[in-house]
Chains A and B, each alone.
Chain A
């Protein structure tokens, strides 16, 4: 590719600038978190006496251990079930091509752009009538339903690319439909499944609206919901709030940095298909 040196330089400068703009809020959060509790530090100033203890305080007052457990339980409830149900339906629509699969697919497709605010009001009354308000099920069950459109569309897109011959061979060996799905197609779907798992984990962990509407106790919410409550309670103590916000970011950020390649690929594909 022919690229002039001046273009390379402008490219670099621009890229560094954009990265700086992206990172500065994180840096500001970090620096502020080190100032003495209760002060209003200005800008990006490094404190004379960094208060590393703020992180410990925030960990304690935010009951971070409980929060991690709660978010973890919610993720464990949502992600595996969503993966399984989405894959089975994607298999039925994309590979088995059951009668009426086109209509079924379109019904799911319509749910893809639905803003959660559009159903939150009746959902509240429905969850209340089911006796599930203020339990983790109040977040888990609706999230599975809300993730179905994306999961089904995503997995169907994988299954339509699978050649019929794969199933033919298994059928000749006497495999039933369930065995065909479980033994043959599920292992072949691993790449699509792992990307979907990453996206669902992220969307569950960061879910805010359902958490604040359906669960009052921050200790039973998702991380994002808990952070909202933390801000309400400690919003005036800026350094403590910043320390808490950073701590809440640590789990997702570390998982992101470990699996960054997969994450970036999944997020890019995710927005294209979504």
Chain B
């Protein structure tokens, strides 16, 4: 520490006086957080061990709800769907974002890129509900997607994308990809602008092409930004609710049912509060199990 030791001693003495009073500053935040987040979170864990319809008395059932979660194919499938959505919510935006950002790196300061910064952010600003409504219409049987297919001679592929078993989940995934690709592109582009241009100059002088440049300079330098993109998008995929609720309500059948929506239906339509809570606990753990290793990965970069 660069300060002289007298200053430090004085500071320490003052700090101990101020010390506990300081908690008064944190207290209101702690109270709100404890009342509206921590308490419900603990109650979710407690409810998950009971069979309760939300009105009458509840019965202790131990781990039975969790047992049902892994044995009931319909419930377990929701978790599978969430992971399938990761392919669309995370993989497509991150790969596409990397590709686009690397390609437009050279023109990052042009006027076009400035406009793009605003345009690509539009999906982040609107409610996901609105994205769901727009895309339900685009992907409907008379929507733009099918019209484009017919226009290029692929008319036999047209269908109600959100209404058929085979295509509904990928179609929901595409909506998520649309929402997240702009954010990922701009995050990665911002990361790239921090890379020392001298590295690229040197690579060019050594005769490296764009591909080589990307693999040996861009990608390694972006570890932290990639970590952020993957974290944000994986959480969006696992905890997806708004888009699915609007676009498919989990259907057709249960083909797009995700944990968030299933929790909602179980708790508020089917009155299986215990089961809903067990699934909620599983979802929270699942998110943490995905996010913590990702954070480790991103932090190691520094």
Contacts and interface: CB of A to CB of B under 8 A. Distances in A.
Given A85-B32, A264-B118, A15 B127 contact: no
Decide if the interface of chain B is mainly helix, strand, loop or mixed.
Answer: helix
B186 A268 contact: yes
A139 to B, nearest CB: 11
Interface in A95-111: 96-99, 104, 107-108, 111
Please tell me the size bucket of the interface on B: 35 or more
Contacts of A223: 127
Contacts of B201: 1-2
Given A15-B112, A92-B23, A117-B263, A122 B40 contact: yes
A152 B228 CA distance: 19
Contact of B183 (A23, A97, A122, A267): A267
Contacts of B43: 122, 125-126
Decide if the interface of chain A is mainly helix, strand, loop or mixed.
Answer: helix
B147 A42 contact: yes
A113 interface: yes
A121 interface: yes
A141 interface: yes
Contacts of A142: 36
| The 4 residue pairs across chains A and B that have the minimum distance between CB atoms | A145-B36, A3-B106, A115-B239, A122-B43
Interface of A: 1-3, 7-8, 10-12, 14-16, 18-19, 21-26, 28-29, 32, 40-44, 84-86, 88-89, 91-93, 96-99, 104, 107-108, 111, 113-126, 141-142, 144-146, 148-149, 151-152, 164, 168, 171, 177, 181, 202, 205-206, 208-209, 212-213, 223-224, 227-228, 231, 238, 241-242, 245, 248-249, 252-253, 256-257, 260, 263-264, 267-268, 271-272, 274
22 contacts: A3-B106, A7-B103, A7-B106, A8-B106, A22-B119, A42-B142, A85-B28, A88-B25, A91-B25, A97-B15, A113-B235, A115-B239, A115-B284, A118-B44, A119-B37, A121-B273, A164-B11, A224-B129, A227-B127, A249-B127, A264-B118, A267-B183
